[in-house]
Structure 1
Amino acid sequence: MAEPDLNQQIAARVRQLRADRGITLEALADRSGVSRSMISLIERGETSPTAVLLEKLAAALDITLASLFEPPAGTASPVARRSDQTAWRDPASGYVRRNISPPFYPTPIQIVEVTFPAGARVAYDAAPRQTPAHHQVWVLDGRIEVTVGEQAHELATGDCLAFILDRPTAYRNRTREPARYAVVMAAGTDLPR
């Protein structure tokens, strides 16, 4: 379960992004497919939302999922110390994600480290984004299966998969050991498709 202060940080970030874009709760609910009441609970920090639910909000706000874990405001630094990096546990799958990239630093690239439990699975719908989200998944330890659209990719330590987040995507660990991987994301319309 996410720590209460992290739920509050996510709440503040969602509220800020929605306000910055001038989007009402109703409009965000329509865009994301997440109920108005659930968004309200998230914005008040009264629930531990799942990664799948947060991805729907991120797509509707035209940002990456990693962006929801950044603090709502702060000073940019080119260095992100491990001790300052946010770690979050998805209450549905149990996976732990850590934002590696320095928050607020002006770059189109974000890096996330994921520790994926044995037997875990998480599946994301493909929500339309105005800005393409390019992903590369690099397996650091273990084995995972990543399905992009209809195509499944078996990845082992050292393997890297590149794709655009424009189709349903699922991650699965079919082994009895946890896996660890990095997701490198870049957003921008000037990147090749």
Structure 2
Amino acid sequence: MESNPVNQHIASRVRALRAACGLSLEALALKTGVSRSTLSLIERAETSPTAALLDKLAAGLGVTLSSLFEDPARRASAPQPLARLAEQPIWVDPLSGYRRRSVSPAGADSPLQIVEVDFPPGARVLMENPPRDFVQHQQIWLLAGAMDIGVGAQTYRLQAGDCLAFRLDQPTQFHNPGSEPARYAVMVVAEAFFRR
């Protein structure tokens, strides 16, 4: 079994959200295109899912990707306006090695979520961004290095200091073309962030 506490958070959140939606494992598998066996492994924290897979689950469950990383115990308590560095969950994509830190306080009364990403040289991640029943806007502010970010058919080369804004309604591809890690901040605003 995976020892990473963030995988435990993901497992608990997916189980709770699936139950809140009244979906069986089979129904969620049909809705997301993720196999029932993979869903079962995720819900038991026996695997570390990729970013692309988690994006499919978030869309199928009607939540933002960031909300899947929240500690259920912190989410269940009264919302806190402050997230100390030590409380901010860190997750590493097992496929690309990119490191994602959820900066925003869990359950805070805000539609804005902030994430910090360290992206290894040469790594690529494709997010399908399946249809959601709410609108999600994203801005990426590159802090160091370079990134090629594809939004639909358009690709943008970002250098340190550049900021790209787009809606999460078409596939996006992230690629670090350089020989050094890239670091960027992601700001996400979702219209229906508090539905669950």
TM-score range, shorter chain: over 0.9
Structure 2 residue 11 is matched with structure 1 residue 11: yes
Question: How far did residue 5 of structure 1 move?
Answer: 2.1
Task: Give unpaired runs (5+ residues) of structure 2.
Answer: none
Matches within 5 A, 1:140-159: 140-159=143-162
Give the one of 113, 136, 139 matched to 1:136.
139
- Give the secondary structure class of the aligned counterpart of 1:60: helix
Question: How far did residue 27 of structure 1 move?
Answer: 1.3
Tell whether the 8 Å contact from 2:55 to 2:129 is kept in structure 1 after alignment.
no
| Corresponding position of 1:160 | 163
**How many aligned positions are there?**
188
Tell whether the 8 Å contact from 1:16 to 1:72 is kept in structure 2 after alignment.
no
Q: Deviations over 1:114-166 (max 9, x none)?
A: 00001110001130100011100110111101100000000011111010000
Using the size of structure 2 for normalisation, the TM-score is 0.93
CA RMSD of aligned residues (A): 1.1
Deviating above 4 A after TM superposition, structure 1's stretches of 4 or more consecutive aligned residues are none
Tell whether the 8 Å contact from 1:146 to 1:169 is kept in structure 2 after alignment.
yes
Q: Deviations over 1:73-112 (max 9, x none)?
A: 3231101111110011100000000000000111111000
CA distance in 2, matches of 1:32, 1:77: 32
Tell whether the 8 Å contact from 1:118 to 1:179 is kept in structure 2 after alignment.
yes
| Corresponding position of 2:182 | 179
Question: Which amino acid counterpart does residue 160 of structure 1 have in structure 2?
Answer: C
| Corresponding position of 1:57 | 57
Change (3 A) 1:3 1:180: farther
Give the one of 181, 184, 191 matched to 1:188.
191
Give the one of 60, 78, 81 matched to 1:78.
81
CA distance in 2, matches of 1:169, 1:44: 29
Using the size of structure 1 for normalisation, the TM-score is 0.94
CA distance in 2, matches of 1:58, 1:3: 22
Structure 2 residue 128 is matched with structure 1 residue 125: yes
CA distance in 2, matches of 1:3, 1:144: 31
Question: Which amino acid counterpart does residue 103 of structure 2 have in structure 1?
Answer: I
Tell whether the 8 Å contact from 2:104 to 2:114 is kept in structure 1 after alignment.
yes
CA distance in 2, matches of 1:108, 1:58: 16
Question: How far did residue 3 of structure 1 move?
Answer: 4.5
CA distance in 1, matches of 2:157, 2:23: 39
- Give the secondary structure class of the aligned counterpart of 1:78: coil
CA distance in 2, matches of 1:63, 1:103: 14
- Give the secondary structure class of the aligned counterpart of 2:73: coil
CA distance in 2, matches of 1:165, 1:23: 24
